Chain A
């Protein structure tokens, strides 16, 4: 039983990290209807830029964060300006394919600038069991995972407040609802989009740092983003809450399946388990847990 909880908690903590990546998708999807496949590329780009700058300049941590954030904001704005604005009002599937191209571009660019080798990213957090939990309940929970989950949780909360309580947040939701109408009541559409892409860049940075510190900064980081897709299917593409809950479910289910189901299937199931879960879920509830059902008007 202890072991079960250990696995479950580990899974939930990993799930928070999935939520974090999924959040980047939801932000952009809500505001501009674009399913940004390049979110993973942005996570990778952010982590690599951070490590690269660290190696080259040796700046202090917070300066590095600020510098990388600046780079990500510029990247976000450029993406919005060069790729998405010319494609406004195109079918969603076209936008989606464009972001696939974008993902390739960003991933290639990051490695041309910073090189292809795997790098370590040290945030000063130790990946070691938390003593108190270990002693008291005999459950092994990584300190790193816990802190990472905390950071992710705070970020999610901040974004939720940003979305629901601020003027920009309200404008954002208006834009998400109806571009034309938002434009008509005087919401500066282009500015809003630039802000969203910048925020998505910021989320990518946080996710990149946490995942990079955990697994090393390498190309495989982009696969983390692929993991976020099933999370979105589960949670619905338009719901921040959905991204969180979906992330937790996928994280926990994946870990549990890996431990309890994996050995019977020959291992390696974490590569597809989340997807098959999402696929089955799609057949039952295509709009996701918290998504809205749309009525086609003709």
Chain B
């Protein structure tokens, strides 16, 4: 009853084209932001911030990146983690080698470096489609971390290849505690999510979707397929690069190229599929789901085993994770290819009509 747009008339196209045309949505998003920016930093425990919320936000950003490429532009990539690695290592090196470099600028430059590499590996997409492209991006996934480890310049000649990320300080203010790091990540992710939303509702976003849905028709309209795909690769890799930098600087505190492996790429792909390909909101839902699921499973299995007096073999949780992830992916692709975002949308539509069925 409360969620209904009746009585809210749009008299201009400007009003109709705003981000959240329904008033209740605006209130809800305002409330959500208030909770995220004020309530959580005040009350959430360190564990919640460092183990759950920061990785969730970082993954959401990477998922946004992959979603732009796969969900909106229709180009499948299995190299997400590699582009994150580029962003992380590049940001580290910009910090390291240019004295007085503001850290935010390093993050942006890290993203831009990832964008350049993304364009390079996106070039084959001009001639190949679908899983052919997936194989090409696998090349990036295997080659880039290898290169980052082998060329010791990247890790400043660190013996183990692992490097310690510099502390985050902006205008003399140190982002050293969990709530502060959380706030920084949240701000960056919120801004970039807004930018992503704006892009997908502007001409570039329509060009991406056009190329995804029907490339010949898009070409005939005058969309340059090549340029559109490469922009998608660039923007996507930029997002992944910044996510990688945040992953290293705000979450792990270190940069280890080998940590950006195929598994991470898959995990982010799963976030896209389960959250909803072609949905900004879905990126967040998917990231939350996949971040929380292992923890949930872990608790369930250990508690369950304890209750039944079973002795679980070691590694059981991670195996169960594989099975559950796999089953969920198949389930969503068959039952709801548009993921959690679509379920949320259906719920909203039902809510608008409630208590009437139609």
Chain B residues, Cβ within 8 Å of A153: none
B346 at the interface (CB under 8 A from A): no
A87 at the interface (CB under 8 A from B): yes
Is there contact, CB below 8 Å, between A229 and B333?
Answer: no
- Looking at the assembled complex, report how far the CB atom of A266 sits from the nearest CB atom of chain B, in whole angstroms: 4
Is there contact, CB below 8 Å, between B124 and A283?
Answer: yes
Is there contact, CB below 8 Å, between B138 and A275?
Answer: yes
A265 at the interface (CB under 8 A from B): yes
Please report whether the interface of chain A is mostly helix, strand, loop or mixed according to DSSP: helix
Chain A residues, Cβ within 8 Å of B146: 268-269, 271-272
Is there contact, CB below 8 Å, between A108 and B143?
Answer: no
Interface string of B119-141 (1 = CB under 8 A from A): 00001100110111011101100
Chain B residues, Cβ within 8 Å of A226: 138
Taking CB atoms and an 8 Å cut-off, the chain A residues in 107-147 that contact chain B are 107-109, 111-112, 115-116
Is there contact, CB below 8 Å, between A93 and B327?
Answer: no
B34 at the interface (CB under 8 A from A): no
**Which of the listed residues A35, A105, A109 has the most CB atoms from chain B within 10 Å of its own CB?**
A105
Known: A265-B150, A272-B139. A233 touches B329 (CB 8 A): no
Taking CB atoms and an 8 Å cut-off, the chain A residues in 61-115 that contact chain B are 82-83, 86-87, 90, 92-94, 96-98, 100-109, 111-112, 115
> Contact size class for B?
35 or more
B69 at the interface (CB under 8 A from A): no
| Bound Cα distance A283, B123 (Å) | 9
A276 at the interface (CB under 8 A from B): yes
Is there contact, CB below 8 Å, between A282 and B326?
Answer: no
B99 at the interface (CB under 8 A from A): no
Residue of B nearest to A115 (CB): B313
Is there contact, CB below 8 Å, between B131 and A104?
Answer: no
Is there contact, CB below 8 Å, between A286 and B143?
Answer: no
A24 at the interface (CB under 8 A from B): no
**Which of the listed residues B130, B143, B314, B326 has the most CB atoms from chain A within 10 Å of its own CB?**
B326
Chain B residues, Cβ within 8 Å of A286: 127-128, 132
Residue of A nearest to B316 (CB): A112
Is there contact, CB below 8 Å, between A282 and B334?
Answer: no
Q: How many residues of A contact B (CB 8 A)?
A: 47
Is there contact, CB below 8 Å, between B139 and A276?
Answer: yes
Is there contact, CB below 8 Å, between B132 and A282?
Answer: yes
Is there contact, CB below 8 Å, between B316 and A282?
Answer: no
Is there contact, CB below 8 Å, between A282 and B127?
Answer: yes
Is there contact, CB below 8 Å, between B323 and A229?
Answer: no
Interface string of B249-284 (1 = CB under 8 A from A): 000000000000000001001100100000000000
- Looking at the assembled complex, report how far the CB atom of B332 sits from the nearest CB atom of chain A, in whole angstroms: 9
A235 at the interface (CB under 8 A from B): no
Known: A98-B330, A101-B328, A265-B150. A282 touches B313 (CB 8 A): no
Taking CB atoms and an 8 Å cut-off, the chain B residues in 75-131 that contact chain A are 76, 123-124, 127-128, 130-131
**Which of the listed residues A97, A103, A111, A266 has the most CB atoms from chain B within 10 Å of its own CB?**
A97
Is there contact, CB below 8 Å, between B127 and A229?
Answer: no
Is there contact, CB below 8 Å, between A104 and B130?
Answer: no
Taking CB atoms and an 8 Å cut-off, the chain B residues in 130-167 that contact chain A are 130-132, 134-136, 138-139, 142-143, 146, 150
Is there contact, CB below 8 Å, between B124 and A35?
Answer: no
Is there contact, CB below 8 Å, between A111 and B319?
Answer: yes
| Bound Cα distance A96, B330 (Å) | 11
Is there contact, CB below 8 Å, between A35 and B131?
Answer: yes
Known: A268-B146, A283-B123. A116 touches B315 (CB 8 A): yes
A298 at the interface (CB under 8 A from B): yes
Taking CB atoms and an 8 Å cut-off, the chain A residues in 213-243 that contact chain B are 226, 229-230, 232-233
Is there contact, CB below 8 Å, between B216 and A233?
Answer: no
Residue of B nearest to A91 (CB): B130
Residue of A nearest to B315 (CB): A116
B321 at the interface (CB under 8 A from A): yes
| Bound Cα distance A92, B134 (Å) | 12
B15 at the interface (CB under 8 A from A): no
The 8 closest A-B pairs by CB, nearest first: A108-B322, A101-B329, A105-B326, A104-B326, A108-B323, A275-B139, A272-B142, A272-B143
Q: Show 6 A/B contacts (Cβ-Cβ < 8 Å), sorted by A.
A: A112-B323, A229-B138, A266-B150, A272-B139, A283-B127, A286-B127
Known: A105-B322, A282-B128. 16 other contacts (CB 8 A): A35-B130, A35-B131, A93-B74, A94-B337, A97-B269, A105-B323, A105-B325, A105-B327, A106-B326, A108-B326, A111-B315, A112-B319, A232-B135, A269-B146, A282-B136, A286-B127
Query: Chain B interface (Cβ within 8 Å of chain A)?
Result: 74, 76, 123-124, 127-128, 130-132, 134-136, 138-139, 142-143, 146, 150, 216, 266, 269-270, 273, 313-316, 319-330, 333-334, 337
